[in-house]
C-alpha cells in the first residue's frame, strides 16, 4: 500500500480489462486516477468502485485518437489535481484480418488508436512531467510487438512501432528524469480476447508455458512497478508478462 501516494495518473482504456485493473490498483496504492475511455457507463462503474474503496478518481469520456481531446484531458487533469506524474497508454483495439484482406479503414483505425493515440498522450502529458522534474510513461504494447502473429498485421505493426517510439522517447526525455517504458502482455483474459476463450483448448494454449492464462491484475502489478519509484533506474525497457510465450 502507498507505493503511488501523492502521484497523479492518467490511464486510458480504463473501462474494463487491464485498464480497469490498473486504475483500481493505482488508486489502492494512493494515486489520484484520471480514468478515460469511450465506454462511459462501464467507466463510471470503475470510478464508483474506486471511490467506494476510499480512492480518488474521476472518469472522462475520451477518444485517444483525437488530438483535441488529449489537450483537454491533460488540461482537465492539471486543473483538478495540479500536475501529472504518470501516463498509462492502455487503450487499444485489434483486428484479425490478414494483410491480403485488410481494408485501409481497419488499418488506419488500429494505428490511430494503438499508436497515434499513445504518441498524442506523450506529446501533451510529458511537458507537464518536465515541469515536475520527473514522470513515468507506461505504453502498453504486446508480445505482438516483439514476435509475429498471423492474422494480426495491423495490430502487430502498431505495437511494434509503439515499442520503437517508446525507446526514442526514453532517450529524448531521460535528461528530464521522465522515464518511458513498455509492457508486453501475452494472452490476458479480457473482453478483447474473450471470444477466443470459448474454445475449450484455445490455439495459443500451446504457446503459453504456464498452465494458466494471465489475468488483468497480472499486468496491473507490473504497470504499478514501472509507475512507482521502485523502477527509478528503468527507462526504454520492455517488461514482458506473457506466461513464457516469447521464451519459445
Catalytic residues: 155
145 contacts 156 by C-beta, under 8 angstroms: yes
- Give the closest residue to 183 by CA, choosing from 217, 141, 232, 151: 141
* Locus of grid cell 512501432: 161
**What is the CA 104 to chain-centroid distance, rounded?**
25
Please give the Cα distance from 211 to 104 (Å, whole number).
38
CB within 8 Å of 150: residues ≥ 6 apart: 98
Query: What DSSP state is assigned to residue 112?
Result: I
CA distances from 43 to 46, 62, 167, 195, 219 (A): 5, 11, 30, 22, 19
Amino acid at each position: 500500500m502507498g507505493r503511488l501516494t501523492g502521484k497523479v495518473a492518467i490511464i486510458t482504456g480504463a473501462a474494463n480489462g487491464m485498464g480497469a485493473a490498473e486504475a483500481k490498483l493505482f488508486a489502492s496504492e494512493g494515486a489520484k486516477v484520471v480514468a478515460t475511455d469511450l465506454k462511459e457507463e462501464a467507466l463510471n462503474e470503475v470510478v464508483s468502485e474506486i471511490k467506494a474503496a476510499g480512492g480518488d478518481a474521476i472518469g472522462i469520456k475520451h477518444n485517444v485518437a483525437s488530438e483535441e481531446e488529449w489537450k483537454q484531458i491533460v488540461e482537465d487533469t492539471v486543473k483538478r489535481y495540479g500536475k501529472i506524474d504518470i501516463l498509462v497508454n492502455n487503450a487499444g483495439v485489434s483486428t484479425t484480418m490478414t494483410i491480403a484482406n485488410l481494408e485501409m479503414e481497419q488499418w488506419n483505425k488500429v494505428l490511430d488508436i494503438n499508436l497515434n493515440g499513445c504518441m498524442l498522450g506523450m506529446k501533451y502529458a510529458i511537458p507537464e512531467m518536465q515541469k515536475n522534474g520527473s514522470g513515468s510513461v507506461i505504453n502498453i504494447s504486446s508480445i505482438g510487438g516483439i514476435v509475429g502473429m498471423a492474422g494480426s498485421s495491423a495490430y502487430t505493426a502498431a505495437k511494434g512501432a509503439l515499442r520503437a517510439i517508446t525507446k526514442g522517447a526514453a532517450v529524448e526525455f531521460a535528461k528530464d528524469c521522465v522515464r518511458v517504458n513498455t509492457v508486453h502482455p501475452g494472452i490476458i483474459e479480457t473482453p478483447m480476447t474473450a471470444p477466443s476463450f470459448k474454445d475449450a483448448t484455445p490455439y495459443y494454449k500451446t504457446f503459453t508455458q504456464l498452465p494458466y492464462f494471465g489475468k488483468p491484475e497480472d499486468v496491473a502489478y507490473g504497470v504499478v512497478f514501472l509507475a512507482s519509484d521502485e523502477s527509478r533506474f528503468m527507462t526504454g525497457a520492455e517488461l514482458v508478462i506473457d506466461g513464457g510465450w516469447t521464451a519459445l
